[in-house]
Amino acid sequence: MKNNIIFSLFILAFSCAETFAQSENYVKFYNKGNKLSDKNFQEAEKNYRTAIGDSLSDLKATYNLSNKYYDEGLFDEAIARQVQGTKLAINNEEKHKAFHNLGNSLINKEMCSEAVLAFKNALRNNPNDDETRYNLALAKKCEEDQNKENENKEDNQDKDNENKDDQKEDNQDKDNENKDDQKEDNQDKDNENKEDQKKNKPSENKNNKQSKLSPQQIKNLLKAMENAEKKVQAKVNDKKQKGTKVVSEKDW
């Protein structure tokens, strides 16, 4: 029993010594960060981060580092630390400050709806802070303006879509009209070509009729023409012979 008590006291003493060492180390870097805060941002940040890493249970280093980020315009980094600060805050005052500063960073990022929520949380922990109430009004105005802007964008988008649909319908109607006109023109041309073909059809039929004679028929026609030509030539020769004058010899 006595040994157990001694062992428990030893563990408690060791734990207290470790906590004291961490706390002393934390205070060292925290104070160094405060001294460098207005002189050297990078060194101040480094010391604050070291202090935070040494003791995450303390809000002060996280709070001060988030303020330095905010002053430098590094709002994303500030928001990350401020969110961490809202979780580390243990009383109403700390929670109010953490949410108030978070709202300021959010509104600088134009995250107006989120800023409204942050300022509301700050007022829940301190309803009497006029500055927080004023910033909440600014965040609400920013939120309203963004909503109107989004509504206008949606209206413009709807109008653009309607115009595109109307233009598409007009183009479709024009295409249909052009297709109909082209179809009519082609139909007229086809009809004209058919009429021309119809007019030329009789002569083509004659030629076709002649071309349909058999080789024997063609041979017979040529032979008949040849015989007829021979008869005509024989008549011409006979007539020449009957009408020819005989020339006698001359007298000397």
Residue 243, helix vs strand vs coil: coil
Neighbours of 59 (CB within 10 A): 21
Least confident residue range of 72-81, 133-142, 213-222: 213-222
Average pLDDT estimate for 181-193: 74
Helices (H), the chain: 2-36, 41-54, 60-71, 75-88, 92-108, 112-125, 130-211, 215-242
Give the model confidence (pLDDT) of 129-143 as tens digits.
Answer: 999 999 999 999 999
92 contacts: CB under 8 Å, gap ≥ 6 = 125, 126
pLDDT given for residue 177 in this prediction: 75
- Asked whether the beta carbons of 101 and 77 are under 8 A apart, the reply is no
State the Cα–Cα distance between residues 53 and 48, nearest whole angstrom.
Answer: 9
Q: What is the mean pLDDT of the chain?
A: 75
pTM higher than the cut 0.75? no
Confidence band of 5 (pLDDT split at 50, 70, 90): very low
Measured distance between the N- and C-terminal CA atoms of the chain, rounded to whole angstroms: 200
All structural domains of the chain with their residue ranges = 91-177
Asked if 157 contacts 144 with a C-beta cutoff of 8 angstroms, the reply is: no
CB 62 within 8 A of CB 32: no
Q: Enter the tokens of residue 20.
A: 């004291």
Q: How far apart are CA 135 and CA 139, in angstroms?
A: 6
Assign domain 91-177 one CATH number from 1.10.3470, 1.25.40, 1.10.20, 3.40.1710: 1.25.40
Q: Burial of 115 by CB count in 10 Å (0-12 exposed, 13-18 middle, 19+ buried)?
A: buried
